[in-house]
Chain A
């Protein structure tokens, strides 16, 4: 028994990811945590998307199920699970059955390497970014087979559009990623494809890659930010499921549980590509302004952190308070809205529920002020906050941009993003090697 406890405890001070430490217990815990966290994020995203879109269009959005519609996604999920699962008579049953699973597998597997913190990843692969791009590109197989297996016109056209779109934007996406990877090779340990290594080289160079070689990093980030919207089939690139033309595109014939799998996969793929963007250009788990520390301070029991190598400046302290403050703010928001709920007795339970939810959020916020908890999750907080910003951008795009026409989409992909990406790649290489190149030129002149 003690041996088991020791095995579990031994990981905590190792400073490695569970995969690198080879610890089965913590690897399982991390996998479960990521899975649950992802599902909760998808549920929250569903609610937020409907609410934010509604507010952008001056509507209220879901208001009936739970306070401010907070329980709406759960009601939706229940409805989808109870719905009849229809397989069209003329469909290819086996392929129809497999397709949603391919998409979900591809969308969830990539989270094996997503670095939520220097130790908070399931594992760190030598080929991290390559693995993410490769596995997430497998989801197009699921979409194509879904469209074909339905044996119906709209899904087939949707699948054709989707595969054409994803294949063409993958190229530009890859070029942007390569330019970021070339930037990692300027740090002392040399270039790396590992997701944790990429963030660490940003820490070492004291610069997020989005600001590196300004404006080259910014342009690369821009290309990726456009291509990733197209990769995930979201507005304004949502032609594969254009409602007005194809009813629902490749998943027209799907219903119930299988449809909800497509839904789950779409949102977790959005989170996955956002976390690639955050890792490559926005410094991953690093807090904003990671190079500024301010004068060192010390407060008994609270600061500095127990980890001796951690920076201990006043700015570090202020940013370490952010996770707790954010949750306290969210909890206060819930209380504020609970007070504004209608005073009618029918709303009593809802008001109490909202206040209880606010109390829960506040409690989480208070826990995050405890130094042990704070030091362990600050990195997760910053990573998630950056990804959440991308999620908001996705909703914002959907609320503001009209859909592209298909030829426009192809033009943007092949005639704008691809040449820009190629030029960017060469420019990044030249600027990165400028010292060596100048030395060579000088040498050639002297000869």
Chain B
């Protein structure tokens, strides 16, 4: 199947739209007093992020993002949040008083991004303009090769260590929750 024959469907306007959805969703997450509304806004943000991965021709990452974050983790989030008494949290004031520090940190990070993007070393920019090659059709296989291939798979050990970390978290949760095992 020759995908390069077709021009990319996703124009920059898709990116602007998705970015706007993500920013609005992110702001809603921290400003809503109702925790369930925050969680729903977070899900919207995560889904828009999955769409951004699709724009980057990484469908596998997008699919995993939907399954793990939007489908798995957020369900557990909602599951817990639903059991909290909403009436009490609605009356509470949002107590984070660090907005000054927050603005400073965000501003610094933004400045850093702009600085990195515009820096030229020996006349070359870090992110040159150009066309990407559309590797959508091989994305899944590419990820698998990177992880498991006998010759070029350099990340297998790191991958397994990460899964071990998750296992430790699971065992920890069981130990914390149960007095007698």
Instruction: Spell out A's residues near B (CB within 8 Å).
Output: 16, 20, 22, 92, 94-95, 98, 124-127, 130-131, 133-135, 137-138, 140-141, 144-145, 147-148, 156, 159-160, 163-164, 166-167, 190, 193
Contacts of B66 in A (CB 8 A): 131, 134-135, 137-138
Interface range, B side: 20 to 34
Cβ-defined contact, B36 with A145, below 8 A:
yes
Q: Out of B36, B37, B60, B70, name the residue touching A138 (CB < 8 Å).
A: B70
Q: Out of A126, A131, A144, name the residue touching B79 (CB < 8 Å).
A: A144
Q: Judge if B139 is at the interface, Cβ distance under 8 Å.
A: yes
Cβ-defined contact, A159 with B82, below 8 A:
yes
Contacts of A125 in B (CB 8 A): 59
Chain B's interface: helix, strand, loop or mixed, by majority? helix
Cβ-defined contact, B40 with A127, below 8 A:
no
Closest residue of chain B to A124, judged by CB? B1
Cβ-defined contact, A127 with B78, below 8 A:
no
Task: With both chains docked as a complex, state the minimum distance between the C-beta of B115 and any C-beta of chain A, in angstroms.
Answer: 36
Task: With both chains docked as a complex, state the minimum distance between the C-beta of A147 and any C-beta of chain B, in angstroms.
Answer: 8
Contact A95/B67 with A126-B137, A167-B76 known, Cβ cut-off 8 Å: no
Task: With both chains docked as a complex, state the minimum distance between the C-beta of A110 and any C-beta of chain B, in angstroms.
Answer: 11
Interface residues in B125-178 by Cβ distance below 8 A to A read: 136-141
Cβ-defined contact, A134 with B63, below 8 A:
yes
Q: Out of A20, A133, A160, name the residue touching B82 (CB < 8 Å).
A: A160
Q: Judge if B116 is at the interface, Cβ distance under 8 Å.
A: no
Contact A163/B79 with A22-B6, A126-B60, A148-B36 known, Cβ cut-off 8 Å: yes
Cβ-defined contact, B63 with A95, below 8 A:
no
Q: Judge if B107 is at the interface, Cβ distance under 8 Å.
A: no
Cβ-defined contact, A141 with B75, below 8 A:
yes
Task: State the CA gap A167–B78 with chains docked (Å).
Answer: 13
Cβ-defined contact, B67 with A130, below 8 A:
yes
Closest residue of chain A to B81, judged by CB? A148
Task: State the CA gap A94–B79 with chains docked (Å).
Answer: 19
Q: Judge if B55 is at the interface, Cβ distance under 8 Å.
A: no
Cβ-defined contact, A137 with B140, below 8 A:
no
Known: A98-B40, A126-B140. 6 other contacts (CB 8 A): A92-B36, A95-B40, A126-B138, A130-B67, A156-B82, A166-B75
Cβ-defined contact, B67 with A133, below 8 A:
yes
20 A-B pairs whose Cβ atoms sit less than 8 Å apart in the complex: A95-B40, A124-B1, A125-B59, A126-B60, A126-B137, A127-B139, A130-B63, A131-B59, A133-B67, A137-B67, A138-B71, A140-B75, A141-B70, A141-B78, A145-B78, A147-B82, A148-B82, A167-B75, A190-B141, A193-B60
Task: With both chains docked as a complex, state the minimum distance between the C-beta of A106 and any C-beta of chain B, in angstroms.
Answer: 9
Contact A126/B59 with A135-B66, A140-B71, A141-B43 known, Cβ cut-off 8 Å: yes
Task: With both chains docked as a complex, state the minimum distance between the C-beta of A188 and any C-beta of chain B, in angstroms.
Answer: 14
Cβ-defined contact, A127 with B63, below 8 A:
yes
Closest residue of chain A to B5, judged by CB? A22
Contacts of A126 in B (CB 8 A): 59-60, 136-140
Task: State the CA gap A229–B109 with chains docked (Å).
Answer: 49
Contacts of B141 in A (CB 8 A): 190
Contacts of A156 in B (CB 8 A): 82
Shortest 10 CB-CB contacts between residues of A and residues of B: A137-B71, A134-B66, A130-B63, A134-B67, A22-B6, A127-B63, A127-B59, A148-B82, A144-B78, A126-B59
Task: State the CA gap A167–B79 with chains docked (Å).
Answer: 11
Q: Out of A130, A164, A166, name the residue touching B64 (CB < 8 Å).
A: A130
Contacts of A135 in B (CB 8 A): 66
Q: Could you give, for residues 75-87 of chain B, a 1 whenever the CB lies within 8 Å of some chain A CB and a 0 otherwise?
A: 1101100100000
Closest residue of chain B to A138, judged by CB? B71
Contacts of A92 in B (CB 8 A): 34, 36
Contact A20/B1 with A130-B63, A148-B82 known, Cβ cut-off 8 Å: yes
Task: State the CA gap A125–B79 with chains docked (Å).
Answer: 31
Cβ-defined contact, B79 with A134, below 8 A:
no
Task: With both chains docked as a complex, state the minimum distance between the C-beta of B68 and any C-beta of chain A, in angstroms.
Answer: 9
Task: State the CA gap A94–B32 with chains docked (Å).
Answer: 13
Task: State the CA gap A276–B80 with chains docked (Å).
Answer: 31
Contacts of A22 in B (CB 8 A): 6, 9
Q: Judge if B72 is at the interface, Cβ distance under 8 Å.
A: yes
Task: State the CA gap A153–B137 with chains docked (Å).
Answer: 48
Interface residues in B29-55 by Cβ distance below 8 A to A read: 34, 36-37, 40, 43
Task: State the CA gap A166–B67 with chains docked (Å).
Answer: 13
Task: With both chains docked as a complex, state the minimum distance between the C-beta of A132 and any C-beta of chain B, in angstroms.
Answer: 9
Task: With both chains docked as a complex, state the minimum distance between the C-beta of A143 and any C-beta of chain B, in angstroms.
Answer: 10
Task: With both chains docked as a complex, state the minimum distance between the C-beta of A348 and any C-beta of chain B, in angstroms.
Answer: 54
Task: State the CA gap A92–B36 with chains docked (Å).
Answer: 10
Cβ-defined contact, A130 with B60, below 8 A:
yes
Q: Judge if B74 is at the interface, Cβ distance under 8 Å.
A: yes
Task: State the CA gap A163–B74 with chains docked (Å).
Answer: 11
Cβ-defined contact, B75 with A144, below 8 A:
yes
Task: State the CA gap A420–B140 with chains docked (Å).
Answer: 27
Contacts of A190 in B (CB 8 A): 141
Cβ-defined contact, A141 with B72, below 8 A:
no
Task: State the CA gap A94–B137 with chains docked (Å).
Answer: 40
Task: State the CA gap A135–B66 with chains docked (Å).
Answer: 7
> Most chain-A CB neighbours within 10 Å: which of B9, B34, B67?
B67
> Most chain-B CB neighbours within 10 Å: which of A141, A147, A160?
A141
Task: State the CA gap A253–B75 with chains docked (Å).
Answer: 21
Contacts of B76 in A (CB 8 A): 167
Closest residue of chain A to B57, judged by CB? A126
Cβ-defined contact, B71 with A160, below 8 A:
no
Q: Out of B79, B138, B139, name the residue touching A160 (CB < 8 Å).
A: B79
Task: With both chains docked as a complex, state the minimum distance between the C-beta of B61 and any C-beta of chain A, in angstroms.
Answer: 9
Contacts of A164 in B (CB 8 A): 79
